[in-house]
Structure 1
């Protein structure tokens, strides 16, 4: 295998447990709400919201603002339309407070000894920075759709990583728990590593984590990825 120079990481679901984190916080704040369903519904609005930007209906919009648009539309469905602006702002920033998976920090720390680590997320820079600070994520660089003004899977995001570090696309490996993200990266010439996150959508909705032979590597978690890459 050609050894990459840069590992670029998808964040939501791959590095951090968005569903469990949102569920726990909503449950603590609003015990009467079905917090698991709330987390799933909020995330379900993510792709349609980005599609509004891609279509030109909305101008370029950071994910924080898209999360807020989704949230405001969601609250009446869960009996929370009474929330005031301060409560809505606090709840919207739950995406800055997502908890890492148990293997994440140790796995990244090991990988960092050999590779340059960066984020490649649709999340905006402020969100990713706050998340990293809180969770102790040891990035060398934070890259975001905000930098490239394009959301994944736009080729500008994947190729933008290679351009940022002045390396060939083959010298970048995207690490993600989503096969569509990895397929788009491969189409741009990047190496790819799939990370199994069977409970990304909660324990009640385990997802298929079967290997795709098109990926360069397939790992159970980030510690296993470090093993595979000799860290």
Structure 2
């Protein structure tokens, strides 16, 4: 499928490039052996969309994901018997999102894709978070783009069209790469190409995701190496 040649590959990050669940569950289990790290990671992530909805509705002003993560963290700590956790430990734990580990294929696949395409993030994560994560995991981005740049969270069209605007290309010259069909559907509505990446264990090995192909996507790949091969790299 080398005839499909987008100029820009824009990547969702959480779950697509990095293993947020495995990373958080492991760190929490190490720090707090009495806590179920798997359940803690899931609870933290479950607060993500409701927190963003408060910003999108206007209830909250523009808020970085780091700050939303902290709000959610403060809310869930008592549920796990950690309500007395001091401020310095809360700040340190909240930064676990800055040090998430990449999926095993991510660095090799991104490096291959970068040979021909400009690769960038398109994440709701803030710029500082995404930059720290790239340093930690060795992610070879050409550019870090974030909802913070556009003052809008995905799936707001300003995010997808903003990538095309940043690079001065047509939307059809941008491909969103993601492990989430709703993200890809919103990108298609803006005229972007889309590539679905199978991440069946995004929520842990005990909760495999349905990774069935959606024919509406431009490409469907097992991982980033498979995507590179489909793009002729």
Same fold (TM over 0.5): yes
Structure 2: runs of 5+ lacking an equivalent: none
* Alignment root-mean-square deviation, CA: 0.5
The number of equivalent residue pairs is 231
Which residue number in structure 2 is paired with residue 47 of structure 1?
49
CA deviation string 1:106-147 (max 9, x = no partner) = 000000001000000000000000000111100000000000
Which residue number in structure 1 is paired with residue 73 of structure 2?
71
Counterpart of 2:89 (choices 87, 90, 95) is 87
TM-score, normalisation: structure 2 = 0.99
Aligned partners of 1:134 and 1:92: how far apart in 2?
A: 15
Structure 1 stretches of at least 4 aligned residues deviating more than 4 Å after TM superposition: none
Aligned partners of 1:93 and 1:22: how far apart in 2?
A: 10
Aligned partners of 1:132 and 1:3: how far apart in 2?
A: 25
The alpha carbon displacement at 1:82 in A equals 1.0
CA deviation string 1:12-45 (max 9, x = no partner) = 0000000000000000000000110000000000
CA deviation string 1:162-218 (max 9, x = no partner) = 000000000000000000000000000000000000000001100100000000000
TM-score, normalisation: structure 1 = 0.99
8 Å Cα contact 2:44/2:73 also seen in 1: yes
The alpha carbon displacement at 1:2 in A equals 4.0
Aligned partners of 1:134 and 1:204: how far apart in 2?
A: 27
Aligned partners of 2:98 and 2:5: how far apart in 1?
A: 32
Structure 1: runs of 5+ lacking an equivalent: none
List aligned pairs for 1:55-204, cutoff 5 A: 55-204=57-206
